Structure 1
Amino acid sequence: MISSGSDTVSLLPATAASGLPLHPTTRIILILIGRQGHRCPERRAARAAHEEVRKMHVGFIGLGNMGAGMARNLVAEGFELTVRDVRPEPMRALAEAGAKTADTAADAAANADVVCVAVFSEPQIRDTVLGADGEPGVLAGARPGTVVVLHSTVSPHLVREIAAAAAEHDVRVIDAAMSGGGDTAATAGTLTFLVGGGDDDVARARPVLAAMSRTVHHVGPLGTGVTSKIISNFLLDGNITLVREALRIAARAAIPESRILEIVADSKVGSSWVSTSWAAIRGHEESSWNGKDGVVAMYKKDLSLALDLARTDGADTPVLEFIVDEVAPHVGEHGLTR
């Protein structure tokens, strides 16, 4: 046996414990392995990281479809968490899980090292961070040096606008767009974060992000996280548009939808994640928490963000322009996958 603090490790296999003799060389090797394990730098680093997490105070604002699961994972990982939502029900649920609750965004940000903002729209981000209608925002309560993490898929221009306002309070901002599986991944703690911001700011928020995700990609400077998400969403929505129309052609040719999708998957040339996941995409549309209209609205929002970004940066995107101007207006008539 070797003791190190509160840990006691047996270095003897069952045969030795039962009284059978060990070869002297084997005994030495086992002792050396045990001592090396107790000096393992990875183990010390893991313990130090755990202690650091226990000291971090996190504010979380927005307990919706994604935010509720993300916040629960922070509680489960040992962070001191204060949550805020305009609805009392999700706050009660998080309080039962071990979080504190706040009456305003400013209260949620008070004493926080990191504040996560997971609201839906650009106006909601402005109101949450800057304050509105007499309710103080995050910046009214955040201490100098706090890192505010914007999780919503919004324009990089807005991210920089919020960061400029935060800088006047000596508060830092990073964007950490969410990807990797929607609310299921948020609940499971297996999200992928696409992060934009300064190295030091991202490093300070990384333990929080890691507790809610499988992968954290630091893409580059402020705004590049949401830019990456907008590009990814454009590829997804554009592919949905193509598969949707391809299935219409197949229907006119009397080829069943399931059959043409099987053929495309087997031939692989025109296959994609969208075509192989079409049934799941349709199921998501039909069962989504915000209904078919909400799914279509997200499709149009994502494409509009992509077009605004392209125009702002001077990128030539005639296909994107055609989808936004000529295709998207008619999607709502039949739904996203019809």
Structure 2
Amino acid sequence: MTTIAFIGLGNMGGGMAANLAAKGYDVRAFDLSAEALEKAKAAGCTAAASAADALAGADAVVTMLPAGQHVAGVYRDEVFGKAAAGTLLIDCSTIDVATAKALGAEAAAKGYVAVDAPVSGGIAAANAGTLTFMVGGPDDGFARAQPILQAMGKAVIHAGGSGAGQTAKICNNMLLGASMVATAEAFVLADKLGLDPQRFYDIASVSSGQCWSMTSYCPVPGVGPETPADRGYQGGFAVALMLKDLRLAAEAAGSASASTPMGARALELYEAFAAEGQGGLDFSAIIKSLR
């Protein structure tokens, strides 16, 4: 049986670790939150007393942490030199590209195989085991990580070398953030011009303006499939998380001298919305600021 050390049992990590346990993996889970550890234990994981305890005898390490500094701290302070040589390191956090590349290089130099594998799908998909993983790293690392990731998701795609997973994630979410703003604008304009939102949806969803933000995640309550808009914009993908990804995209764009005017404007709008105390709402709630 493959033993996995799972570090980071937050909103996403908890469901992911539970799915690994349900698929027959021996999951040794660790988090600073006692409540998160209890939930993991109830889901079939073994609660570890520390990161070092989780690492003991692990074939692979999965991390799901808030930011690059946290992943770097765990790798450099807890994993490197302590995990067995050849251990597979899978970081599913969304972090900056530069840190992902640096940690991948450091891991390889110390005898480990590391991949960056950020996710798309949100809390519901983490719990249901239907996430999409964008994986960066060497071919052998991807081959070893693939079955583990498939136990937690519906799609596992090799994006390229180290850091490519993070690159794919921030580019995808920059596009998502900008398209949601544009979708919300269109619905607000249609409404102000007297066009019924459902009629507009019926037309635009089969016309050239169709996009995922409209047909799968409509920001208008009662229109299209059920979305967080139908639940008062609760659940889903929080504004604060979209803001994090847009900031990472802006940082990466700056380092690459890439022009991203739509991404930059989406960042400004989400920053203003979060500053109004709306950071906990689903990101589609941005429509509220446009009405």
State TM-score, norm by structure 2. Answer: 0.85
Matches within 5 A, 1:244-263: 244-263=184-203
Q: Quick one: distance in 2 between partners of 1:196 and 1:75?
A: 24
**In the alignment, is the contact (CA less than 8 A) between 1:105 and 1:129 conserved in 2?**
no
- Which residue in 1 is equivalent to 2:208? 269
Q: Quick one: distance in 2 between partners of 1:272 and 1:330?
A: 24
Q: Quick one: distance in 2 between partners of 1:230 and 1:101?
A: 32
SS at match of 2:62: strand
Matches within 5 A, 1:193-272: 193-266=133-206, 268-272=207-211
Give the AA of the match of 1:197: G
- Equivalent position to 2:100, from 146, 149, 159: 159
The aligned length equals 272
- Equivalent position to 2:64, from 118, 137, 151: 118
Give the AA of the match of 1:215: A
Give the AA of the match of 1:322: R
**In the alignment, is the contact (CA less than 8 A) between 2:136 and 2:158 conserved in 1?**
yes
- Equivalent position to 1:329, from 268, 271, 277: 271
**In the alignment, is the contact (CA less than 8 A) between 1:295 and 1:336 conserved in 2?**
no
Deviation at 1:118, TM superposition (A): 0.8
Deviations 1:175-214 (A, max 9, x none): 11112x3222222222221101001122222221121122
Q: Quick one: distance in 2 between partners of 1:319 and 1:98?
A: 44
SS at match of 1:319: helix
Give the AA of the match of 1:295: A
Matches within 5 A, 1:270-285: 270-276=209-215, 277-278=217-218, 279=221, 280-283=227-230
Q: Does 1:287 align with 2:240?
A: no
Q: What is the CA RMSD across the aligned residues, in angstroms? A: 2.2
SS at match of 1:72: helix
- Equivalent position to 2:40, from 94, 101, 118: 94
- Which residue in 2 is equivalent to 1:75? 21
**In the alignment, is the contact (CA less than 8 A) between 2:67 and 2:93 conserved in 1?**
yes
**In the alignment, is the contact (CA less than 8 A) between 2:134 and 2:159 conserved in 1?**
yes
Farther off after superposition, 192-201 or 280-289: 280-289
Deviations 1:116-165 (A, max 9, x none): 0011222322333233xxxxx23353111111111011111111222244
Structure 1 unaligned residues grouped into runs of 5+: 1-53, 132-136
Q: Quick one: distance in 2 between partners of 1:287 and 1:336?
A: 13
Deviation at 1:169, TM superposition (A): 3.3
Q: Quick one: distance in 2 between partners of 1:164 and 1:211?
A: 26
**In the alignment, is the contact (CA less than 8 A) between 2:4 and 2:59 conserved in 1?**
yes
Going from structure 1 to structure 2, the CA distance change for 1:192 and 1:239 (only over 3 Å counts) comes to same
Q: Quick one: distance in 2 between partners of 1:304 and 1:253?
A: 34
**In the alignment, is the contact (CA less than 8 A) between 2:68 and 2:100 conserved in 1?**
no
- Which residue in 2 is equivalent to 1:32? none
Give the AA of the match of 2:34: P
Deviations 1:28-55 (A, max 9, x none): xxxxxxxxxxxxxxxxxxxxxxxxxx2x
Larger radius of gyration: 1
Deviation at 1:331, TM superposition (A): 2.8
Give the AA of the match of 2:287: T
Structure 2 unaligned residues grouped into runs of 5+: 222-226, 279-284
Give the AA of the match of 1:282: A
- Which residue in 2 is equivalent to 1:149? 90
SS at match of 1:286: coil
Q: Does 1:301 align with 2:244?
A: yes
**In the alignment, is the contact (CA less than 8 A) between 1:149 and 1:174 conserved in 2?**
yes
**In the alignment, is the contact (CA less than 8 A) between 1:106 and 1:139 conserved in 2?**
no
SS at match of 2:80: helix
- Which residue in 2 is equivalent to 1:182? 122
Higher relative contact order structure (alpha carbons within 8 Å, sequence separation ≥ 6): 2
State TM-score, norm by structure 1. Answer: 0.74
**In the alignment, is the contact (CA less than 8 A) between 2:104 and 2:137 conserved in 1?**
no
Q: Quick one: distance in 1 between partners of 2:27 and 2:69?
A: 25
- Which residue in 2 is equivalent to 1:62? 8
Deviation at 1:237, TM superposition (A): 0.6
Q: Quick one: distance in 2 between partners of 1:221 and 1:196?
A: 5
Give the AA of the match of 2:262: V
Going from structure 1 to structure 2, the CA distance change for 1:324 and 1:150 (only over 3 Å counts) comes to same
Q: Quick one: distance in 2 between partners of 1:254 and 1:172?
A: 58
Q: Quick one: distance in 2 between partners of 1:90 and 1:297?
A: 21
